[in-house]
Structure formats: structure tokens, C-alpha cells
């Protein structure tokens, strides 16, 4: 038996060591499975992301597919072969170009997806891009200028071009791109078959450039920019470095905490957590999952939540040891009793992740993916790997129960008796937050601090290289922004502890964006890599508001259904959802009172809080459900108070580890991560509070009312 445990432990050590090596170094020349092979999103690698909508209502699938194809060709021609162009819905096209070295040039080029026209001397449009089949650069021998463009027209263009060339022999027919003449070739002869050549191009480079403009310059649909995001490589690199640093520090502190607090089980959990971290990196790398900035936040958050499963298990093991069972029996019973709470809690968080993925946009989808991966891997490592390691330790002779911890006898904490106090505290906080909204609406024009994702506009993050006071920002930056953008009321925000400034304006077109960037570069001696900009139209922002609300409502409904079915008692589900709504309103109160920007991170933070809150509540309800079997019938107050007392240390420790991870992310993270981390910290505290002081007493209130109805019915009989 001991030999088997030694072999098991050695195999686990080898497997975990190999996974760590693969996660750090990767396999082969391409470092497959390694951290360096993980695909980075635009917000980390730097680049350009644009969302277009069609000017034409209800475009056909063919028109959209042709547009996607031609934009794809265009960005290939610019040298960005890793760029992605894809449809979204029935009238939108998304363009993502990582590592774009000259983002403004890309925006300028792709921002002209308009019309290619052949215009006769009388100003009439002879042909459009729809009539052009192909255009290629060629070199012919025997000519002083051998470089030409071979032009081929389709059936729709042949007759029209013949009539024009016949009428204007010896004159020029201009080729215009978005109203600007790119060349004016002379007509030498009438062209009947739709095949023509444009000579005197001067060089092969110019011939290829002009042929490319003709060939792919005309898109089947006219497009309008809805949203654009430009991230400089320097800012992307900083985001990666600070987030990775936060993850390492947070993980190290959690590993230390687990050993100090849980001893041998804590050591087993630490080994499993290291394996967990390496597995997540390997999965991201192998499956080419794009890692975004919110995605890193999802991983770091899931590390904190991964500890939860282990803490639930260890708390159960301590209780079993307190009943003077053998170590082997305690380990077996601890894992068995913890499994249902772990599964139920994590499934509800997965529901939130699924809704985020289905309804969110790019970065939010990335967050949902990494959070879901983290949850699934954490369940595997806690229920399988930690169990094997603990079993191996026990089999090797480490059987001193004190090394595994023995639960002390707990006194029942009287929570239910003071339920009105707990309810009142929450109501006061929520009411203060709600009252602040009309006050801010009257004084500042909006009830909440809507960022551009929710109000439309442009934001520019500049790494200026020095810390600026509000007075300095107003005096130095206002003239620059006003001159470049013609927006007379720009807003400025300094990034705490960073030499960066956020500039918020009305939505800028590409010309204004470029002009602002040039002036900032000239003023502060920086480069385009130190600037990140984003523009969103009111159309997108309105959609995001609706999506945020719908996501939260949908998540609450799905969780209510799941909990009701799982616990076979709708009162558990209703109590949990009321606590969930409580947490949403508490966090909304923080957004309101402290004017935290409402943006993409708001949706991710809210749904993460929803998942986290439900997770916490379910662990407590799982204990309530279990204790009902052994306690006096009708003693709902005793059941709730006892269950809270038994799970209190678990709730505190889980919240502490998760809070620790997010707090470190807030302290050293970049601006956008901080905006995400702040409400999460509030949500973690609120989720713990609501599980103990709102959901559980509320369940008691519902059960007591039910019992009274039953008693009244018996009395009437």
C-alpha cells in the first residue's frame, strides 16, 4: 500500500513538473503550450480594432461577404497578414489587426471604404468598382516606361466603357477613389472587349499600388465607422507586465496563506494550485484562445476562486476529524460532503460566464472564456489532484491529525435574531446610492459616470512621461485638444501612480484623431506607441446599455431556475437571487457615489459579482439543506444560525484570498484593470455579507411564513 502511494506521489510530481516546464518554456521551436505562445489580444499586443456598419439597410449576405473579402485583401496588401475580418450580425463588419506599427495609417486607409469611380471629361460617372473584374501591374519590354496596369472589366462594364472610350478618344478619363483622383489616363482607342492597359506608371511599385487601389479599392457596400480602438505597443506591454506581476505576487501570498492556515492540506492545495496555473496557460496556448486584458483579470480572479473548493474540502475534513474518525475516513467523508457544494457553486458561476460570452463583445468574451476555463480546471485540480496528493501523504505515514487541523467546537452565531438590523444596513446603503443618481443628474448632467462605451465619444490614453495635476492638465492639454478636435469641453483624468492622462471628447473622426496624436507627440516628445485611443458611436453605446441590463436579468433567471431545481425548494432560489440583486445594487451604489466609469468592465464586473455571490450563498445553503435532516423540525432559526457558524471561517478565508488577488491587481494594474478591480473588491465583500446576513435570514423568513400557513390550516381542520 505504501509503495503504491509513493508511486502515485512520484507520478504526480513528474506530471506537475512537466506541466510547469511546458507552461514556462513550451514545446518545440514554436514553444507550443508555453506562455510565450499564448495569443495576445489587441489591448495587450497593441494594434487596431474597428467595427463598421453598412450605410445601406438590410444588405444581402453576398454583399457582406464580398465586403469582408475585399477588406481582408486590403489589410493583406498592407502587410498585416495576421489581421482578422469577420461579420457581426446582419449589417456589421469587424476588423482586428494586432501589432499594427502605424495604427493611424491603418485607420486612414480602412476608414475610406467608399467608392471607386471612372469619370469622363464631362463629369459623368462611367464605371464604378462594381464593373471592375481585375487590375494587375505588369512590365512590357521595348517601352521607355515599361510599367503598366492591365485592366479587366466584367460584363456590366464592357459596354459602358466602350461607349465612353469611343466618345472621348484623346481625352482623359479620371479614376477617382472616394472623390479624389488617383490617376487620369488618356484614352488612345475605343475599348470593345473590356480589356485595357494604363501606361506610363513610372515604376513597378506605383503600378502595383494603383492596381491594388483599383482592384480592391471599391467595396460592395459603403461603410460607416461605429467603433475603433487603437492601442500602442508600449501600453500593451505595460498591461501584460503589471498583470503578470500582480498574478505572481497574489499566487505567492495565497500559497503561503494556505500552508500557514491549513498545514498539510494547504501544502497539497498549493501543489494543485501550481498545477492549475500551468494547465490554464497550456490550454490557452494550445487552443489559441486570445488572451485580453480582462482575460488576465479573469485568470487572476479564478485563482482566488480556485482556493474556494479546497477550503470547502478542508473545512469538511476538519469537522470529520473533530468527530474522532480515522484520518482515512475523514479524508473520504470530507471530499464526499464537499462535492455537491463545489459543483453547485461553480456551475452557477459558469452560467454567468456563458451569458457573458454569448452577449459580450471581444474583450468581455475573453474574460468569460478564461474565467470558465479557470473554474473547470479548478474543480478538476481540487476534487482529483488535491485528493490524490492528500491520500499519498496519508499513505506515506503523515497521519498526525493535528497536521490536518481539527475543527473547534463552534458557538452558534445569532444572525437571524438581528435580521432587521442587517436588512436595514443594506437598505440604507442602497438608498444613498440611488438618491445620489438624481443629484448627480442635476449637477453633472448624468446620473452615472457613463464612459464612452455607454454614452458614445472618444477616449485617448497618453503616456505623457510625467505626473500632472488637474490645473496642469487644464492649462496644457485643453488648448491642444480644442485645436485638434474642435471639442471645447474635453475632460481629463490622471491615472493614479502612473505618468498617464485620459482625455475624453466627443466622437472623433480619423482626421481629428490623427491631428490630436501629432500634437501630443510634438508637445511631449513621445511616440505613437505611447498613445491608446478608442471611439464609439451612440448606436453601439445604446446597445451596450441594453446588453448589460439584459445580461444581468438573464443570469439571475437562469440561476434561479438552476438553484430551485437543484435544491428542490424555490425559497432557496428566491433568497439567493434577492441576495444577488442586493449585491448588484450595492455595487451600483459604489459606481454612483464615487463616479466610477460605467464601461465594458462594468458588465464583466457585475456578472462576475453575480456568479461569485451565488457561489458563496450556495455553499451556505448546502449546509442548511444538510442540517435540516438532523435538527429539530421547525427550528429554522437554529438551522440557519448553526449553518452560518459552521461555514463562517470558510466564507472569511475564501473572501480573503479572492479579495487579496483582486486588491493586488488594483494596486499595480493599469487604468482599465483598476476600473474593473474596484467594483469587484466591493462585490466580494458585499457577496460575503449578503450570503450570511441577507440570503440565509431571508430563507428563514420564507420558511417561517410557510410553517405558519401549515399550522393555520391544521387548526382550521
Residue 87 has pLDDT above 80, yes or no: yes
Stretch 577-592: mean pLDDT: 88
pLDDT of residue 234: 63
* Number of neighbours of residue 485 by Cβ within 10 angstroms: 23
pLDDT of residue 275: 95
Residue 49 near residue 95 (C-beta atoms within 8 A): yes
Q: Looking at the chain, which residues constitute the CATH 3.30.70.3400 domain(s)?
A: 47-112+224-230
Q: Looking at the chain, which residues constitute the CATH 1.20.1640.10 domain(s)?
A: 2-39+237-403, 416-433+540-716
CATH architecture of 416-433+540-716: Up-down Bundle (1.20)
pLDDT of residue 416: 92
pLDDT of residue 352: 78
- Site of grid cell 497536521: 403
Q: Name the strand (E) or helix (H) holding 679.
A: helix 671-690
* Helix, strand or coil, per DSSP, at residue 53: strand
pLDDT of residue 46: 73
| Mean of pLDDT over the chain | 82
Residue 405 has pLDDT above 90, yes or no: no
Q: How far apart are CA 211 and CA 267, in angstroms?
A: 66
pLDDT top residue among 530 and 387: 387
Q: Residue 12 — pLDDT band, cuts 50, 70, 90?
A: very high
pLDDT of residue 522: 87
Phi-psi region of 239 (alpha: psi -120 to 50; beta: other; left: phi over 0): alpha
pLDDT of residue 715: 65
Minimum mean pLDDT range among 71-75, 259-263, 343-347, 389-393: 71-75
Residue 323 has pLDDT above 90, yes or no: no
The predicted model scores a pTM of 0.72
Q: How far apart are CA 85 and CA 621, in angstroms?
A: 47
Residue 694 near residue 579 (C-beta atoms within 8 A): yes
Domain covering 116-218, topology:
Gyrase A; domain 2 (3.30.1360)
pLDDT of residue 64: 81
pLDDT top residue among 284 and 539: 284
C-alpha to C-alpha distances, 515 to 484, 528, 649, nearest whole angstrom: 5, 12, 57
Residue 231 near residue 240 (C-beta atoms within 8 A): no
Stretch 372-385: mean pLDDT: 91
| CATH code of the domain made up of 47-112+224-230 | 3.30.70.3400
pLDDT of residue 360: 67
Residue 570 has pLDDT above 80, yes or no: yes
Stretch 257-283: mean pLDDT: 92
Q: Residue 223 — pLDDT band, cuts 50, 70, 90?
A: confident
pLDDT of residue 109: 66
Beta strands in 120-273 (DSSP E): 125-128, 132-139, 147-153, 174-177, 180-183, 195-198, 223-231
Looking at the DSSP bridge assignments, the partners of residue 53 are 92, 224
pLDDT of residue 286: 93
Stretch 312-319: mean pLDDT: 89
Q: Residue 189 — pLDDT band, cuts 50, 70, 90?
A: confident
CATH architecture of 457-536: 2-Layer Sandwich (3.30)
Q: Looking at the chain, which residues constitute the CATH 3.30.1360.200 domain(s)?
A: 116-218
Q: Residue 540 — pLDDT band, cuts 50, 70, 90?
A: low
Q: Residue 319 — pLDDT band, cuts 50, 70, 90?
A: confident
Minimum mean pLDDT range among 113-127, 162-176, 325-339: 113-127
Q: Residue 432 — pLDDT band, cuts 50, 70, 90?
A: very high
Stretch 647-671: mean pLDDT: 84
pLDDT tens-digit series, residues 606-643: 766 777 777 788 889 988 988 888 777 778 888 999 99
pLDDT of residue 666: 85
| CATH code of the domain made up of 2-39+237-403 | 1.20.1640.10
Q: How far apart are CA 298 and CA 302, in angstroms?
A: 6
Q: Name the strand (E) or helix (H) holding 85.
A: strand 84-88
* Distance, CA of 461 to chain centre: 19
Residue 101 has pLDDT above 70, yes or no: no
pLDDT of residue 112: 56
User: In this structure, is the dihedral angle defined by the CA atoms of residues 701, 707, 708 and 710, taken in order, positive or negative?
Assistant: positive
Stretch 257-276: mean pLDDT: 92
Amino acid at each position: 500500500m505504501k509503495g503504491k502511494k509513493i508511486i502515485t506521489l512520484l507520478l504526480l510530481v513528474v506530471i506537475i513538473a512537466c506541466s510547469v516546464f511546458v507552461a514556462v518554456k513550451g514545446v518545440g521551436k514554436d514553444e507550443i503550450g508555453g506562455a510565450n505562445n499564448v495569443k495576445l489580444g489587441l489591448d495587450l499586443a497593441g494594434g487596431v480594432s474597428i467595427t463598421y456598419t453598412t450605410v445601406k439597410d438590410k444588405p444581402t449576405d453576398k454583399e457582406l461577404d464580398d465586403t469582408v473579402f475585399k477588406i481582408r485583401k486590403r489589410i493583406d496588401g498592407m502587410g498585416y497578414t495576421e489581421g482578422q475580418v469577420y461579420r457581426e450580425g446582419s449589417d456589421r463588419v469587424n476588423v482586428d489587426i494586432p501589432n499594427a506599427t502605424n495604427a493611424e495609417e491603418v485607420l486612414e486607409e480602412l476608414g475610406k471604404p467608399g467608392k471607386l469611380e471612372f469619370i469622363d471629361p464631362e463629369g459623368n460617372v462611367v464605371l464604378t468598382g462594381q464593373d471592375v473584374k481585375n487590375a494587375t501591374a505588369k512590365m512590357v519590354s521595348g517601352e521607355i516606361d515599361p510599367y503598366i496596369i492591365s485592366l479587366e472589366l466584367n460584363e456590366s462594364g464592357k459596354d459602358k466603357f466602350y461607349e465612353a472610350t469611343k466618345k472621348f478618344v484623346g481625352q482623359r478619363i479620371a479614376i477617382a477613389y472616394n472623390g479624389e483622383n488617383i490617376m487620369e489616363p488618356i484614352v488612345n482607342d475605343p475599348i470593345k472587349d473590356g480589356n485595357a492597359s494604363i501606361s506610363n506608371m513610372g515604376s513597378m511599385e506605383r503600378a502595383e499600388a494603383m492596381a491594388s487601389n483599383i482592384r480592391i479599392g471599391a467595396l460592395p457596400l459603403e461603410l460607416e465607422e461605429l467603433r475603433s480602438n487603437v492601442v500602442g505597443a508600449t501600453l500593451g506591454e505595460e498591461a501584460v507586465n503589471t498583470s503578470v506581476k500582480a498574478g505572481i505576487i497574489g499566487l505567492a501570498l495565497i500559497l503561503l496563506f494556505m500552508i500557514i492556515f491549513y498545514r498539510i492540506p494547504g501544502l497539497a492545495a498549493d501543489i494543485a494550485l501550481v498545477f492549475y496555473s500551468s494547465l490554464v496557460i497550456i490550454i490557452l496556448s494550445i487552443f489559441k484562445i486570445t488572451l485580453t486584458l480582462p482575460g488576465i483579470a479573469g485568470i487572476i480572479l479564478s485563482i482566488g476562486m480556485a482556493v474556494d473548493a479546497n477550503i470547502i474540502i478542508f473545512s469538511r475534513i476538519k469537522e470529520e476529524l473533530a468527530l474522532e474518525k480515522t484520518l482515512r475516513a475523514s479524508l473520504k467523508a470530507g471530499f464526499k460532503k464537499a462535492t455537491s457544494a463545489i459543483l453547485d457553486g461553480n456551475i452557477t458561476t459558469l452560467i454567468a460566464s456563458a451569458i457573458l460570452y454569448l452577449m459580450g463583445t471581444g474583450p468581455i468574451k475573453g474574460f468569460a472564456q478564461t474565467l470558465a476555463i479557470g473554474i473547470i480546471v479548478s474543480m478538476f485540480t481540487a476534487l482529483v489532484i488535491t485528493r490524490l496528493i492528500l491520500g499519498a501523504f496519508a499513505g506515506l505515514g503523515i497521519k498526525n491529525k493535528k497536521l490536518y487541523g481539527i475543527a473547534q467546537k463552534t458557538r452558534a452565531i445569532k444572525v437571524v435574531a438581528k435580521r432587521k438590523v442587517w436588512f436595514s444596513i443594506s437598505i440604507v446603503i442602497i438608498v444613498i446610492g440611488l438618491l445620489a443618481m438624481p443629484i448627480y443628474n442635476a449637477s453633472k448632467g448624468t446620473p452615472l459616470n457613463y464612459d464612452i462605451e455607454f454614452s458614445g465619444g472618444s477616449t485617448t490614453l497618453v503616456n505623457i512621461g510625467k505626473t500632472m495635476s488637474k490645473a496642469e492638465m487644464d492649462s496644457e492639454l485643453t488648448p491642444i485638444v480644442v485645436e485638434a478636435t474642435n471639442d471645447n469641453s474635453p475632460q481629463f483624468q490622471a491615472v493614479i501612480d502612473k505618468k498617464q492622462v485620459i482625455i475624453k471628447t466627443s466622437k472623433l473622426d480619423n482626421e481629428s484623431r490623427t491631428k490630436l496624436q501629432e500634437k501630443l507627440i510634438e508637445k511631449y516628445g513621445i511616440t505613437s506607441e505611447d498613445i491608446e485611443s478608442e471611439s464609439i458611436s451612440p448606436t453601439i453605446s445604446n446597445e451596450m446599455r441594453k446588453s448589460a441590463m439584459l445580461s444581468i436579468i438573464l443570469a439571475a433567471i437562469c440561476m434561479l431556475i438552476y438553484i430551485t431545481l437543484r435544491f428542490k425548494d424555490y425559497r432557496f432560489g428566491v433568497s439567493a437571487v434577492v441576495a444577488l440583486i442586493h449585491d448588484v445594487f450595492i455595487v451600483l451604489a459604489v459606481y454612483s457615489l464615487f463616479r466610477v466609469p460605467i464601461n465594458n468592465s462594468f458588465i464583466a464586473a457585475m456578472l462576475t459579482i453575480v456568479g461569485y455571490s451565488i457561489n458563496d450563498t450556495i455553499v451556505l445553503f448546502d449546509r442548511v439543506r444538510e442540517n435540516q435532516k438532523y435538527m429539530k423540525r421547525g427550528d429554522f432559526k437554529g438551522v440557519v444560525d448553526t449553518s452560518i457558524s459552521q461555514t463562517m471561517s470558510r466564507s472569511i478565508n475564501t473572501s480573503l484570498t479572492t479579495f487579496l488577488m483582486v486588491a493586488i491587481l488594483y494596486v499595480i494594474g493599469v487604468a482599465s484593470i483598476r476600473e474593473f478591480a474596484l467594483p469587484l473588491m466591493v462585490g466580494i465583500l458585499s457577496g460575503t455579507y449578503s450570503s450570511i446576513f441577507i440570503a440565509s435570514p431571508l430563507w428563514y423568513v420564507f420558511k417561517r411564513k410557510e410553517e405558519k400557513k401549515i399550522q393555520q390550516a391544521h387548526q382550521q381542520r
